[in-house]
Amino acid sequence: MRQIKRTQIFLFFLSLIVSVRLFNLQILEGHKFRYLSRANCIRIVPFVGPRGRILDRDKRILVDNLPTYEVAVFPQDISKIDGFLSQVSSILDIPSDKLKGNFNKISNSSLPLVLLNNLDKKTAIVIEELKFKFPQLIINMVPKRYYPYGNLASHLIGYLSLIDYWRLTKWQDYGYSIKDTVGYGGVEERYDYYLKSQSGGLQVEVDNRNRIVRILGYRTPKAGKDIQLTIDLKLQKIVEEALEGYQGAVVILDPHTGEVLAMASSPSFSPADFLEEKNLNFYFSASSSPLINRAISGLYPAGSIFKLILSYIGLEKANIGKNKTFFCEGVMKLGNEEFLCWDKHGSQNIFEAIVHSCNIFFYRLGLILGADLIHNYALKFGLGKPTGIDLPEEKAGFVPSPLLKRVKKFESWFAGDTANFSIGQGDLLVTPLGICRMISIFANGGKLIRPYIVKAIDGKDISKYQRKIIPLNLETIHMELINNAMRKVVEDPEGTAHFLYMPKIPIAGKTGTAQVAKKLSHAWFSGYFPADNPRYSICVILEHAGPSLYACKVTRYIIERMLEEGLL
């Protein structure tokens, strides 16, 4: 029969259609559907690993982690745990409405929702017992940052917070994702890539109602790498004690290597506050800007400390020996303007001028040298550009020149500008770290160092890669003269830093009093000690504290305490 034959052919075509369809779904689109089927039934319960610890140079722990516990639940199970919420609210004394409000907003996620976090072990055990009645609960250990010394070194450490949009877009390619906690400021930010832990998790298979059917896999979370700083915990403590009550910064470097031994900025903040996310408004709105690390981000006029650079140029370029003197009457007239000295020093050679910090001498010297030469040498001594320290937010500072003034301000450079420049005033701006590095050049015999704060990552010493020491090829005799003068600044009863004089330990340094319009001046001291074999270079600045004496007081306190603690 024809009809049956035709039916057979017709059915053959139907099966061909079905085969083509199956080929399309299973072979051509198989990958897509495989993915969709996995997405249907696989969920991840994330486990967070501890972040790397931050240690001082002797491996004392500056920042640690403590275990806390969190209680989570899959979004689909929320309705089943109303009873749990009311029990928990009575145990923890939190209104249950508040508990529920926490997660209603985000109940579409496929990840578990955190109901409670930051629980201590005792509470976690109590809740663990409730798990018998509410098997949907997921109780996880979550490491939490712990700061055993409170505010200590807060600017160096930084704080932790949720990743922001800007960082997320920048770091996405490095494995960061939304809801990550990352470091802000300090080592936490700069070395976040090493410090951050690799989160692990439980991969579970769920059915259509999100009930866990079985566990597919487990990846242990990996702890972040420990970071060892160059900071000396004892010294850091001393420095912060000394700064207490002032607004300012202190930097102490190893002048030979560039290791930052202590660095403090006042006022400081408590990184722990950022974990609780409370009282943060103050930090962001206070006029004293406690979050700013003044040691690297604060810009100040250099004041008289800048005279050291001028002295060197004078010795090398203008052949101004010990015989050349200028006469100080306390005032110098330049056109219609009067330029003042803080005293009447009479006849001063370069040595005396440094010891007494005579302005008139350096006005005159500066006018002889010219602004461009001073500008070039200031750059050579490392001012006007970032030191390259491994901390975020470092400022460059600014070294003026006639050309820059014309380009930036469209103004001409006058002799008065040169005079101001010569005593470290005018448009010149420096960071305390920049000054400390500059002073280190005198301490280490003419080498420009690069300050750094991280000594080792994960136990591996990286000093080799951190150190960048550039010899500046400065004339040794000239340096010696200036160094001797700096010693006299402290030793000579007429010296500006004689307050610092301690028979036990020779100190070399230079004071500065940076004038500020309408406010008390900034007090500077920068120097190194012990003077015959420098191990420490120091820079102290106190904002609007008045004369440099205050900076000397802070310095004296630090050195005395160092002697007490056996650091010298």
CB of 68 to other proteins, least distance (A): 34
Judged by beta carbon, residue 209 or residue 278, the one nearer other proteins is 209
DSSP 3-state of 527: strand
Least distance CB 22 / other proteins (angstroms):
5
Asked if 518 interacts with other proteins (CB under 8 A), we say no
| Residue 524 burial by Cβ neighbours in a 10 Å radius (0-12, 13-18, 19+) | buried
Tell me the C-alpha to C-alpha distance, in Å, between residue 176 and each of 167, 173, 279: 9, 7, 27
Please list, in sequence order, all residues whose beta carbon lies within 8 angstroms of the beta carbon of residue 75, skipping any fewer than 6 positions away: 103, 106, 107, 108, 109, 110, 112, 113, 210
**Nearest distance, CB of residue 4 and other proteins, angstroms:** 5
Stretch of residues binding other proteins (CB under 8 A), selected from 5-13, 190-198, 228-236, 512-520: 5-13
Pick the closer one to other proteins by CB: 97 or 207.
207
Residue 18 or 91 with smaller CB distance to other proteins: 18
3 state DSSP class of 222: strand
* Non-local CB neighbours of 459 within 8 Å, separated by 6+ positions: 226, 228
Q: Considering only 29-37, 239-247, 266-274, 547-555, which stretch makes contact with other proteins by CB under 8 A?
A: 29-37
Position 34 contacts other proteins (CB under 8 A): yes
Indicate whether 218 belongs to the interface with other proteins (CB under 8 A): no
- Least distance to other proteins, CB of residue 218, Å: 19
- Residue 483 in 3-state DSSP? helix
Please identify, using beta-carbon distances, which residue of 206 and 368 lies nearer to other proteins.
206
Asked if residue 36 binds other proteins (CB under 8 A), the reply is: yes
Among positions 58, 155, 207, 401, the unique one binding other proteins when judged by CB under 8 A: 207
Task: Note whether 462 and 333 are within 8 A (CB).
Answer: no
41 binds other proteins (CB under 8 A): yes
Minimum separation from the CB atom of position 85 to other proteins (A): 28
CB of 6 to other proteins, least distance (A): 9
DSSP result, 280-344: HHHHHH-TT-TTS-HHHH--B--GGGGHHHHHHHHHHHS---TT-EEEE-SEEEETTEEEE-SS-
* Residues forming beta bridges with residue 452, ordered by sequence position: 259
Shortest spacing between CB 206 and other proteins, in angstroms: 7
Is 273 a binder of other proteins (CB under 8 A)? no
Is position 216 an interface residue for other proteins (rule: CB under 8 A)? Answer: no
Spatial neighbors of 191 by CB under 8 A, at least 6 apart, are 183, 227, 390, 454, 457
Both tokens of 78, joined, read 């929320």
Residue 39 vs 331, nearer CB to other proteins: 39
Amino acid letter, residue 166: W
- Rounded CA separation 498/477 (Å): 25
Kindly state the smallest distance separating residue 55's Cβ from other proteins, in Å.
Answer: 47
**Range 327-386, binding other proteins (CB under 8 A):** none
Eight-state DSSP code of residue 24: I
Residues 142-201 that bind other proteins (CB under 8 A): none
* Interface segment toward other proteins; rule CB under 8 A; list 180-188, 204-212, 278-286, 465-473: 204-212
As measured in angstroms, the least distance from the Cβ of 11 to other proteins is 5
CB 479 within 8 A of CB 446: yes
Span 7-26, contacts to other proteins by CB under 8 A? 7-8, 11-12, 14-15, 17-19, 21-23, 25-26
Provide the binding-site residues for other proteins, judged by CB under 8 A. 1, 3-5, 7-8, 11-12, 14-15, 17-19, 21-23, 25-27, 29-34, 36-38, 40-41, 205-209, 213-214
